[in-house]
Structure 1
Amino acid sequence: MATIKEVSELAKVSTATVSRVLNGHAYVKEENKHRVFEAMKTLNFKPNASAQALASNKTNSIGMLVGSFDSPFYGPLMHNVEQQVREKNMHLIVTTGQESLIKEQDSIEFLLAKQVDGLVLHSDKLSDDTLINLLLRHPNTMIVNRLVPEIAESCIYIDNEQGGRVATQYLINNGHTEVACISGQLTKADSRERLQGYKNALLAAGLTYNPKYVIEGRFDHQGNHEAVRRLLNQAPQITAVFCQNDNIALAVYDVCAERGIPIGKGLSVVGFDNAHHSQHVRPQLTTVDYPVHQIGEVAAKALLARIDNRKYSPSNSLVPELVERDSVCKLK
């Protein structure tokens, strides 16, 4: 089996140059890269991953924590992180927290034990202090979908309050004054921030906040149908509802179908996320676009730049925008 030394001799470069080529180092002359690759091909040289890691003090791997694999949200997020990682000839190792503090902690320790070169974390349960301490321990870390003010430069997030405000304001602008909200789990910062946006929009329009118009649901599919039924039973006078994600909006569609309430006529609905299915239901769902693809891409690029000691200054706060479709009617 050929060695790095033999490759360097045939290519007429140093072993350090061969090592830099193998590890995707940016500062290698194109001529030298070509000679190294030609020598590797001639010698049928196949680099050993463990040996590369020892030589470079890198494992060429990125660890990622997400909430679950069973979600239309995390799939695009993982895909866009992995796409950037693979372009650097690195691999992504993904594990889940499953809405459990203990499992999130265990997952991160697992990734650190793998000596990953960097971390991308979507954490609901870890405290701000824990994340701050983790960043001190492992500086090559990016946190997605969450803002921790003390380490804001390591966070990529959207303005959830603005998203909730935009969704509610759209309903109000269309003449709706009896506007309800079905939130995600209020243990999640996203839900609380979107709810605050809903309240702020009501306040700005001079409308009174009614706690009977707010029901806690879930971002997944569990229990949302019952939450919708409870809302319609206790507040039958509502004409519109802001759903804090598109899964919740689907439950509204189902329950309204049960009760013969036409979406967009009997009840106006705005969702959040702009998930793939939102444009395939009828009527098509008006929703707030969550730029999940952009968040994954920006987080990965920022992390890879940090690992390579390159400058990269992204906009850490991304702006959600309304996607207007057919699920909202204009009241006279």
Structure 2
Amino acid sequence: MITIKEVAELAQVSQATVSRTLNGHKSVKEANKERVFSAIEKLGYKPNTFAQALASNKSYSIGMLVGSLDGPFYGPLMHNVEKVFRQENYHLIITSGQELYEEEQDSIRFLHSKKVDGLVLTADTLSDSDIIDIVKQTPSTMLMNRYIPEISNHCISIDNELGGYIATEHLIINGHTKIACVTGQLSKIDSRDRLQGYRNALSDHHIEYDPNMVIEGRFDHKGNNEAIKRLLDRDLEITGIFCMNDNIAMTVYGECNERGLKIGEDISVIGYDNDTYSQYMNPGLTTMNFPIKQMANIAANKVLDMLQGNKAIDEHLILSPTLIERHSVKNIR
């Protein structure tokens, strides 16, 4: 196995210079850097990452907390965050909080025990104070899909209220006034913001809000069949349904099919997230695009910036959802 001593001899520099070069010290002269990297390439030297970590007091790992390890939202989120870090020779350690407070607390303790250099968080149940303390302990932290004023420059989120507004208004523009809404868990800020957008759109178009038109579902598949059956059984002459994610919309498709209702003809449906399968539903689902890849890339790159000594972003970053029109909404004007 090639050693650092052999690299130093070929590059005609000290072993300390090789070590400083590998650890990114700014004190190394450019000419010496070039000789070191040339020697590494010729010899095929592979640095001992464990030794590097000890020498630099870095683990070259990033911790990530997510709500679940599967699904159409967290899967792409984890994939894109990991891709950014691997390009910079960092490894991602992922743990799930399962939307439970104790589990999220335990996950953070686990990540800290691994001496991660930075964190990327999606936290459903940790309090604002908990997350502020986490940022104090690990300053190279980005919080996704949530906003906390005291650490606003560590936050990146999507304007879910705007997304709920656009989705509802799209149904209104197409002539619908009897518009139902199937929410995600109302314990989640995403659901509450999207519901507020729904209510704002109705108000702006002088449509009275009817609480009977709203029913709580879940972003996963648990219990949505029963909730949607109850909603449709209310016999409210519903012509359009705003579903707060595409999983919910898929369940609406199934229940409407059971009742002989044709999506895009007898009843219009709009989803949220633009999951991969939404374009293959029959008919293709009109939905709101959640910029998961963009959010993941920005969050990961901001953590890297902070690790390199740059300040956190100047302010809270808010991404905007966009409407993806397919064939599940009928114009009934």
TM-score by length of 1: 0.94
Counterpart in 1 of 2:260?
A: 260
Structure 1 residues 50-89: aligned runs within 5 Å: 50-89=50-89
- Amino acid aligned to 2:234: Q
- Amino acid aligned to 2:221: H
Q: Is 30-39 or 291-300 further displaced after alignment?
A: 30-39
Call closer, same or farther: CA 1:232–1:56 in 2, change over 3 Å. Answer: same
In 2, the alpha carbon distance for the partners of 1:27 and 1:225 equals: 63
- Amino acid aligned to 1:263: I
Counterpart in 1 of 2:285?
A: 285
Counterpart in 1 of 2:327?
A: 326
SS of residue in 1 equivalent to 2:297:
helix
In 1, the alpha carbon distance for the partners of 2:193 and 2:110 equals: 31
Counterpart in 1 of 2:130?
A: 130
Counterpart in 2 of 1:9?
A: 9
Equivalent pairs, count: 332
In 2, the alpha carbon distance for the partners of 1:21 and 1:293 equals: 33
Contact 1:24 1:89 (C-alpha < 8 Å) held by counterparts: no
SS of residue in 1 equivalent to 2:176:
coil
Counterpart in 2 of 1:304?
A: 304
TM-score by length of 2: 0.94
- Amino acid aligned to 1:329: K
- Amino acid aligned to 1:331: I
Contact 1:72 1:275 (C-alpha < 8 Å) held by counterparts: yes
Counterpart in 2 of 1:240?
A: 240
Deviation at 1:70, TM superposition (A): 1.9
- Amino acid aligned to 1:320: P
Deviation at 1:19, TM superposition (A): 2.7
Contact 1:213 1:235 (C-alpha < 8 Å) held by counterparts: no
In 2, the alpha carbon distance for the partners of 1:330 and 1:64 equals: 43
Structure 1 residues 29-108: aligned runs within 5 Å: 32-40=32-40, 45-108=45-108
Contact 1:120 1:299 (C-alpha < 8 Å) held by counterparts: yes
- Amino acid aligned to 1:154: H
Call closer, same or farther: CA 1:140–1:23 in 2, change over 3 Å. Answer: same
In 2, the alpha carbon distance for the partners of 1:2 and 1:324 equals: 58
Contact 1:246 1:273 (C-alpha < 8 Å) held by counterparts: yes
In 1, the alpha carbon distance for the partners of 2:188 and 2:272 equals: 15
SS of residue in 1 equivalent to 2:7:
helix
SS of residue in 2 equivalent to 1:95:
strand
In 1, the alpha carbon distance for the partners of 2:274 and 2:207 equals: 27
Counterpart in 1 of 2:117?
A: 117
Contact 1:181 1:242 (C-alpha < 8 Å) held by counterparts: yes
Contact 2:213 2:236 (C-alpha < 8 Å) held by counterparts: no
Listed one character per residue, the Cα deviations across residues 149-204 of structure 1 (whole Å, up to 9, x for unaligned) are 11111011001100001100111111110101000001111011111111111111
Q: Is 25-34 or 218-227 further displaced after alignment?
A: 25-34
Call closer, same or farther: CA 1:227–1:32 in 2, change over 3 Å. Answer: farther
Call closer, same or farther: CA 1:313–1:16 in 2, change over 3 Å. Answer: farther
| Aligned alpha-carbon RMSD (Å) | 2.0
Contact 2:243 2:269 (C-alpha < 8 Å) held by counterparts: yes
Listed as ranges, the gaps of 5+ residues in structure 2 are none
Contact 1:19 1:56 (C-alpha < 8 Å) held by counterparts: no
Call closer, same or farther: CA 1:24–1:228 in 2, change over 3 Å. Answer: farther
Deviation at 1:2, TM superposition (A): 4.8
SS of residue in 2 equivalent to 1:108:
helix
Listed one character per residue, the Cα deviations across residues 245-300 of structure 1 (whole Å, up to 9, x for unaligned) are 00000000000110110001111011000000110011100000000000000000
Contact 2:154 2:312 (C-alpha < 8 Å) held by counterparts: no
Deviation at 1:75, TM superposition (A): 1.0
Counterpart in 1 of 2:273?
A: 273
In 1, the alpha carbon distance for the partners of 2:20 and 2:180 equals: 58
Deviation at 1:35, TM superposition (A): 2.7
SS of residue in 2 equivalent to 1:152:
helix
In 2, the alpha carbon distance for the partners of 1:97 and 1:42 equals: 46
In 2, the alpha carbon distance for the partners of 1:105 and 1:215 equals: 31
In 2, the alpha carbon distance for the partners of 1:247 and 1:28 equals: 54
Q: Percent identity?
A: 57
Q: Is 303-312 or 278-287 further displaced after alignment?
A: 303-312
In 2, the alpha carbon distance for the partners of 1:278 and 1:119 equals: 31
Deviation at 1:40, TM superposition (A): 3.4
Call closer, same or farther: CA 1:122–1:323 in 2, change over 3 Å. Answer: same
In 1, the alpha carbon distance for the partners of 2:27 and 2:185 equals: 48
Call closer, same or farther: CA 1:57–1:283 in 2, change over 3 Å. Answer: same
Call closer, same or farther: CA 1:217–1:16 in 2, change over 3 Å. Answer: farther
In 1, the alpha carbon distance for the partners of 2:163 and 2:15 equals: 53
